[in-house]
Amino acid sequence: MHSESTAQFESRKVDHIRLALDVKNQASGQAGFERVELLHEAFPELDFSQVSLMHRIFKGELESKPLLVSSMTAGHHQAVDLNGRLAEACQRHGWLMGVGSQRRELRDSSARQEWKEVRRRAPRVKLLGNLGLSQLIRTSTEDVRRLADSLEASAMIIHSNPLQECLQPEGTPDFAGGLKALEKLVKELGLPVIVKETGCGFSAQSLSRLKGLGVMAVDISGFGGTHWGRIEGGRSQPGELHHEAAKSFANWGIGTVDGLSEAVQMSPDYEIWASGGVRSGRDVAILLAMGAQVVGLAQPILKSALEGEKELDFLMSLIEYELKVALFCTGSRSVEQLQEKKVWRWRKV
């Protein structure tokens, strides 16, 4: 495994934030939302005030809005205030929050102080821990449990990012034994385990390999938003191996909408969550209508959080309002009704 210093780690994480805000690292308009339409109901037969966003997830065990601030960043000096601001906003709005990779905590226990500060600022927020699959393979369940305990997590996310690890100069593209490690974690951790990609999506073959492992949910995290292959390529100089290879993989991935459609058709034994290029409450409604139980947003949330608390609150309120409008205008009182009524179809070309 490549060993990097704390300074190198922090520099990489700061690079990630800067490059995630660059439009050229966004696969904008390629998630597939333009190919789906929600069916307008001219006679909703309910009042707008009756629309509720509360929704049961984790197979009915947890009630929450179906909205997630997807995992972004952790383990560096800028992350403490940023994650505190995000956690406070999620607590106010009732959203779930996925934290950035907790990888640094595996070798530096002082990194746990970040989550103590976040918990101080937002004691009631529902946090989801996060570790990469290539790290999980070499990490004991007890150490993963310590990561979850450090932030009082409601669940643990394990992210798989093979393209990013290949194109990252400090990457660890070591995934042999990943499924076995996942199965072991599910059996031993004592918390729900969520598996996610990081913007390249899951094929039907990949999804089928997760059946029977006991994971609680799979976030398809499809192509259409922040592309980590482009970001890692941007961290190298022109003419260097990683930079040039990243050009060939700039459009690598399975689109969010196509990936979700395929996943739902498989009738998996885990919940399907969705993220990747979500930019509005209408996008959220489309993914929920198609069968996602939770929808995640990252880059737009990051951008508004860096602008300030007021801007972040406005964006989250806007997403919720747009989602409620979509429910109302399809005659749906709840997310469950939106899904039961089959209110979407492929748009005719």
Question: For position 227, which CATH number holds?
Answer: 3.20.20.70
Task: Determine the pLDDT at residue 326.
Answer: 98
Task: Determine the pLDDT at residue 1.
Answer: 42
Give the tokens for residue 165: 């690890």
**Residue 148 maps to a domain:** yes
How many folded domains does the chain comprise?
1
**Residue 25 maps to a domain:** no
**Residue 223 maps to a domain:** yes
CA–CA gap between residue 114 and residue 247 (Å, rounded): 35
The CA-to-CA distance between both ends of the chain, in Å, stands at 49
Cβ-contact 225, 275 below 8 angstroms = yes
For 157, residues 6+ apart whose C-beta sits below 8 A from its C-beta are 71, 98, 128, 129, 130, 131, 193, 194, 195, 196, 219
Task: Determine the pLDDT at residue 348.
Answer: 87
**Residue 38 maps to a domain:** no
**Residue 257 maps to a domain:** yes
CA–CA gap between residue 215 and residue 341 (Å, rounded): 27
Task: Determine the pLDDT at residue 114.
Answer: 86
Give residue 153's identity as a one-letter amino acid code: A
Question: Do β-strands 62-64 and 55-57 pair in parallel, antiparallel, or remain unpaired?
Answer: antiparallel
CA 41 to chain centre: 31
Q: Which domain holds residue 341?
A: 53-346
Q: Tell me which residues of the chain have a pLDDT lower than 50.
A: 1
Using one digit for the tens of pLDDT, what is the confidence trace for 218-270? 999 999 999 999 999 999 999 999 999 999 999 999 999 999 999 999 999 99
Cβ-contact 182, 195 below 8 angstroms = yes
CA–CA gap between residue 45 and residue 62 (Å, rounded): 29
**Residue 18 maps to a domain:** no
**Residue 109 maps to a domain:** yes
Cβ-contact 263, 218 below 8 angstroms = yes
Task: Determine the pLDDT at residue 12.
Answer: 58
Hey, CA dihedral for 286, 23, 72, 261, is it positive or negative?
positive
| 132, burial (CB in 10 Å: exposed 0-12, middle 13-18, buried 19+) | buried
CA–CA gap between residue 2 and residue 4 (Å, rounded): 6
Cβ-contact 229, 164 below 8 angstroms = yes
Least Cα distance to 231 among 2, 23, 6 occurs for: 23
CA–CA gap between residue 231 and residue 246 (Å, rounded): 9
Q: In this structure, what DSSP letter does residue 48 have?
A: G
Give residue 321's identity as a one-letter amino acid code: Y
**Residue 41 maps to a domain:** no
Using one digit for the tens of pLDDT, what is the confidence trace for 102-135? 998 998 888 888 888 899 999 999 999 999 999 9
